[in-house]
Chain A
Amino acid sequence: MKQFLLLIPVCFLLLMTSCGDDTAILPEPEVADVSLTFKTMFGDNELDFNTTVYDYEGMEMTISKFDFFISNVALYKNVEGALDPEQTELFEIDFLDFTQNNNSVTIESLNVPVGEYDGIVFSIGVPSDLNAQQPGDFSVTHPLGITNVGHHWAAWDSYIFSKVEGRLDTSGNQDYVNFSYHPGTDALFSNKIEKGISINLVAGQQKTINFEIDLENIFVSGGALDIEMYPDSHSPDESTGAEHVMDNFPSSISVN
């Protein structure tokens, strides 16, 4: 009888411990949940694909496609006395396809150490170390993987950093010029783009950082791109449009 009495607590002890939730004890959160939201604009208005006709140098323009790679994204803190700010990497690279996502793309659930940051840095395009690889080198779901093979151009041995496509009616009488700018190659990879903004991340709280990309500014900054003369940029010897697009990315992006 004593043996039975001894077995009862042993059984219950096994029952209680064997099915326990291993995740019940969590450390105090030291991170905030950060989202990045990207929205495309055309001047002061949200970009509308296909349907809205925009005025472009007195001609009618419609946009049918816009996407780009964003890379080396990090928050930074200015450190007194230090030459370079201290950086906290958010992610290495992602692909933002506005055409397929109704003009707005959100990257969610980035766990970032709490603190007060002074801004965000990033680049447009694919860094040279990644750009030296092929879609087959990545998992199929990676932004540079074979699912996104339309953004790799073997003839350049480069990824296509961005696609800007649409149509221009040069006379108002359906005299259409199709345009498609596909910048790529290491030479056109953007330098680090730095946007100063105070970002205070509090433990366990959600924070959204909003980006706006003005496509009109991409076309017109530094002088309007002559789309009729340079409707395509698909190869290094047709680089005028590609260079224009990449040169104007930094001034076309605002962060708040």
Chain B
Amino acid sequence: MRITFLFFLASLIFITSCGSDDDFVCQPGVPGDLTSIPYDPVPHEVAVPFDFPPVPVPPNNELTNDGVNLGRHLFYDPILSVDSSMACAHCHLPGGGFTDTLEVSLGVGGAVGSRSSMTLINAAYYLNGLFWDGRVQSLEDQALLPVEDPVELMHQWSDVEFLLQNHDEYPTMFRKAFGITNKSEISKELTAKALAQFERCIVSAGNSKYDQVISLNGFFSPSEQNGFDMFFDSSSILPDAECGHCHNAPLFTTNEYFNNGLDSVVSLFDFDDPGLGGITMNEFDYGKFRAPTLRNIEFTAPYMHDGRFQTLEEVIDHYNSGGHFADNLDPLINPLGLTEENKADLLAFLLTLSDTTTLQNPAYQNPF
């Protein structure tokens, strides 16, 4: 009898010691059980322009068709805001180049933010911090913040989780996206993962005039070519507009942070908005902001972190002036000496970065 007992004990140790933690399955009939719903994740492929690398994806949040679909629904669903009045999409409208086209964003109840919304185009490649000040390092972390921000969605994640867990459709979608076994597993982390999956798919279509010319399928007009040459300093005759240093191809951003001379300050701590310095607390980071992509810049007015410039002409005039001096003014911000013709050519080139097929891609539109 003792031997029989030992045998079962040994077998029990054997079975439990080598098992996968993922093998646990809820019993059917348990409240919130989702195991009757199939979980068959299908990898989601993202097409990218020829000069882009594959979309970088973190190993703990691989793209799947169901994950991206869930993220898209959450992105457009006002369930994430405290009064169900706003969704992520309110500040990132496809038609506005995935911005809200306001000087500064408005939150629930008309709460006024302090910064202009940033475009999400090619956000998958923003690997040097997100937001204007680089305060988070991943799309997953970024997606967590607006929900509880009092000037954005003003909600509480615990309440959002409750709403999602008790929704008619989301538990099934979370099951298909992440293989959860019970709706109680729906969490803010999984919600952020789904949003990040969708945002990672918003990639340039590669159909702008610039893309066509670079891939040898089109030609710039003389004015656009002049603008290109000034943008990238590729002509010894035309002035160097210094744009490409911070807005380099193919992303048209280097994802770096600069003081581009917008404000006159006595000391670096005097900037109204500290930007990167407010995060790093490094004196020389005060007044620095992330250089945004210029792809589809035509549609993302107004410009700069506080939306102070209504038109691209104003932006060009600012850079042509050399901006305001500060101890951390970027050395590449200098008076450019552009003529009116030069400025018109530069603008013509900037407009070649427009790509409405990106903005109108059905996969990015509101699913409701």
Contact = CB atoms under 8 A, between A and B. Distances in A.
* A-B complex is real: yes
Nearest to B49: A136
Interface of A: 1, 4-5, 7-8, 11-12, 14-15, 18-19, 49-51, 64-65, 134-141, 145-147, 149-150, 152-156, 165-167, 174, 176, 178-180, 232, 234-235, 237
A167 B51 contact: no
B11 interface: yes
7 contacts: A4-B7, A11-B10, A49-B284, A139-B53, A150-B254, A176-B325, A234-B233
Given A150-B248, A165-B331, A179-B331, A237 B236 contact: yes
A237 to B, nearest CB: 4
B127 interface: yes
Contacts of A156: 234
Given A18-B18, A135-B250, A136-B250, A147 B255 contact: yes
B30 interface: no
A159 to B, nearest CB: 11
Contacts of B229: 155
Contact of A50 (B244, B245, B284): B284
A11 B7 contact: yes
Contacts of B11: 11
Contacts of A8: 3, 6-7, 10
Interface string B303-333: 0000000000000000000000101111111
A146 B125 contact: yes
B250 A15 contact: no
Given A11-B11, A137-B53, A180-B331, A149 B234 contact: no
B216 interface: no
B4 interface: yes
Interface majority SS on A: helix, strand, loop or mixed?
Answer: mixed
Interface in B315-360: 325, 327-334
A46 to B, nearest CB: 17
A103 B13 CA distance: 55
B14 interface: yes
A149 B248 contact: yes
Contacts, number: 111
B18 A150 contact: no
Given A154-B244, A155-B233, 20 more contacts: A1-B3, A4-B7, A15-B13, A15-B17, A18-B14, A49-B284, A50-B327, A134-B51, A136-B52, A136-B53, A140-B53, A140-B127, A145-B53, A146-B251, A149-B248, A150-B245, A155-B229, A178-B334, A180-B245, A232-B240
Interface string B216-256: 00000000000001001110100010101110111100111
A146 B251 CA distance: 8
A49 B328 CA distance: 11
Contact of B232 (A11, A12, A155): A155
A235 to B, nearest CB: 5
Interface in B250-276: 250-251, 254-256
Nearest to A165: B331
Nearest to B331: A178
B56 interface: yes
B212 interface: no
Contacts of A235: 233-234, 236, 240
B271 to A, nearest CB: 16
